[in-house]
Structure 1
Amino acid sequence: MHHLAYSDIKAAADRITGSVRPVTVAPVDSGAVAPPSHSPLGEGQERGCDVWLAMEFMQHTGSFKARGAQNFIQSHREAGTLPDAGVTIASGGNAGLACAWAAQQQGVRATVFLPANAPRVKVAKLRAYGADVRLTGTEYAEALAASEAFAATSGALTSHAYDHPLIAAGAGTLVEEILRHIPDLDTVVVAVGGGGLLAGVATAAGHHGIRTVAVEPEFCRALNAALEAGTPVDVSLNSVAADSLGARRTSHMALHAAQHNDVHSVLVPDTEIIRARRALWDHRRLVVEHGAATALAGLTSAGRCPQDAPANADGRNYGYRPGDGEKICVVLCGANTDPTDLVDDGPDRA
């Protein structure tokens, strides 16, 4: 079992700099992303806190996963372990897109397996990145089995969506870039799905003495449940953000990173994720996926969560309340979404 080390992140940063887009960091106006009566972003406190947005949704392929995919392929190329058959992955989401893009960048074949009912737009995007798309079965598990069988017969290298040290280390390079913009950062806030981003970010942040806030939807909480149980466990998935954060079980690597660094696990209800995503559109004209808005909801929901308190009766923490003068960066990690539902006049407009 591999436990991520800071040296893994440093090696990834040295390897992929120049191959990925450096992250853009923008300060948040006081009270701009939530109504003032509820905002932790500078309202109602003597000093408030300083908040920045790390706009990683502008990365190649629309998500942070381009970093891990690039690190994975380049590392294998350096080691001479990249087979002629290229790479294979089962993923119609951000990981599949990132794998196909990185393979194309490196002149490597990518064979991507998807269920036959995968959205056509995803299939078209994958093919635009030069991937050989194979539609198999009706569920992800069938596509995964087909990908594994293909790897066994062809010799192709199997990539994983998140549970691989090279993938997670690539994601952790975000912290190194953010620190160039905000050298005295106190806290970094990330959304958590399977845990690749969390493992990389928490490992890098922990090395620099920075706190990590790990935000998950209330009913999509693989890391939160693993921390409670002391080991990865299966969780049920029911969230508007499940398309990108919907991992049934977190990785041992992510759990270890959360247990051995200053990591605060918090939950947010779907209503707050939707509110945060709309606020980004209304105030900034930023279009992010619900998974990316989940991170921001971790901050903006602190006063509106169950029982109007950061800790619910079950002992789980809802939202994160920053301290006075705290310097915080929220990672907006992806933009692969349908923007049409942002322009209606729904009841939850921020």
Structure 2
Amino acid sequence: MITLPDVEDARRRLRGRVRTTPVVEVDPGAFAPAARMWLKLEQLQHTGSFKARGAFNRVLSAAETGRLPDAGVVAPSGGNAGLAVAYAAAELGAPAEVYVPETAPEVKVARLRSLGAVVVQTGTRYADALEAALKRSADTGALFCHAYDQPEICAGQGTLGLELLEQTGGEVDTVLLSVGGGGLMAGVAAAAEGRAKVVGVEPETIPTLRAALAAGHPVTVDVSGVAADSLGASRAGDIPLAVARRAGVASVLVTDDSIVEARRFLWQEYRLAVEHGTAAAVAALRSGAYTPAPEERVAIIICGANTDPSDLR
């Protein structure tokens, strides 16, 4: 479980380590009827996604308390979490080893190697990479960095929420964001609790949060679809689910077709080249899966840009 003080502590730790990414106000009519609408451009963060925040918070916290071993860090990832961990480790002079599924996009694998990480491709799902990384951490003593289910990871992601609320003058009613394992959702929900509601958007083919909320505990779901490389966790994290239940986070589902359309829309109208997983949050508005009230003020987190843009033309 994490709360606002955890997020505020992470913000102190991350000062000077991560970028304050911009927020732009856009015409809400292009997305859905709403009073006002903003895009939080977190794809401009180090390594191209919000994951740098959580990774830095995890590694810096370990370094502060003398828990960063000579063996460095090890992480499982669909791509973005590994990039963030590799970057944070390199900044602190620590070795990094990242386990990714064999299905990870080559653009992400190449970037991991360019950051100096040892990359191990194993299995076809994030769960396979997770199992292998846990074993490697146990064998070597390296600091294990979970992609979305550690307090420091979730709290670090939540610093994005604090920025967003300040940049919009606290006027946001609703924050829409894409959900995989739930680390971003947990951090933002903790940061915004009592000030704005959070709506998690998931592909119909990977409803991890929806299934967990219905069951009252994380459950394993099948993973498929166009956003599986970035939203491919097969189950929600324990910490994200606990925060979601406490903060009243809602889940809405979107189709693959609507995700593809939203991604192309972001490129054609705003020249934002983003991942399919990122586009899911926009798809909720474009497809009507989430319809704001006429007076509602909505912010959308544009959370990752590690994509091959060749199919956006």
Q: TM-score, normalised by structure 1?
A: 0.84
What whole-Å deviation, never above 9, does each CA across 1:139-197 have from its counterpart, x for those lacking one?
65554444333322322111111111111111111111011211221111111000111
Does the Cα contact within 8 Å between 1:92 and 1:123 map onto a contact in 2? no
CA 1:122–1:263 in 2, change beyond 3 Å: closer, same or farther? closer
| TM-aligned CA deviation for residue 227 of structure 1 | 0.9
Percent of matched pairs sharing the same residue:
52
Distance 1:220 1:239 in 2: 8
What whole-Å deviation, never above 9, does each CA across 1:97-151 have from its counterpart, x for those lacking one?
1100010111111122345675544333112112123455676555444433332
2:180 maps to 193
2:262 maps to 276
CA 1:248–1:134 in 2, change beyond 3 Å: closer, same or farther? closer
CA 1:268–1:99 in 2, change beyond 3 Å: closer, same or farther? same
| TM-aligned CA deviation for residue 31 of structure 1 | 2.3
1:249 maps to 235
CA-based RMSD: 1.8
Alignment partner of 1:217 out of 203, 208, 229: 203
Distance 2:290 2:123 in 1: 41
CA 1:289–1:82 in 2, change beyond 3 Å: closer, same or farther? same
Distance 2:152 2:198 in 1: 20
| Stretch of structure 1 that moved more, 259-268 or 115-124 | 115-124
Distance 1:88 1:278 in 2: 34
Unaligned runs of 5+ in 1: 34-39, 42-47, 303-318, 344-350
Q: How many residues align?
A: 312
Distance 1:218 1:294 in 2: 10
Please say which structure displays the higher CA radius of gyration.
Answer: 1
Q: TM-score, normalised by structure 2?
A: 0.94
Does the Cα contact within 8 Å between 2:182 and 2:236 map onto a contact in 1? yes
CA 1:282–1:75 in 2, change beyond 3 Å: closer, same or farther? same
Unaligned runs of 5+ in 2: none
CA 1:248–1:295 in 2, change beyond 3 Å: closer, same or farther? same
Q: Which letter does structure 1 place at the counterpart of 2:134?
A: E
Does the Cα contact within 8 Å between 2:154 and 2:186 map onto a contact in 1? yes
SS class of match (1:249): coil
1:94-109 pair list within 5 angstroms: 94-109=80-95
SS class of match (2:202): strand
Distance 2:96 2:105 in 1: 19
| Stretch of structure 1 that moved more, 332-341 or 142-151 | 142-151
CA 1:12–1:328 in 2, change beyond 3 Å: closer, same or farther? same
CA 1:205–1:139 in 2, change beyond 3 Å: closer, same or farther? closer
1:67 maps to 53
Distance 2:176 2:49 in 1: 16
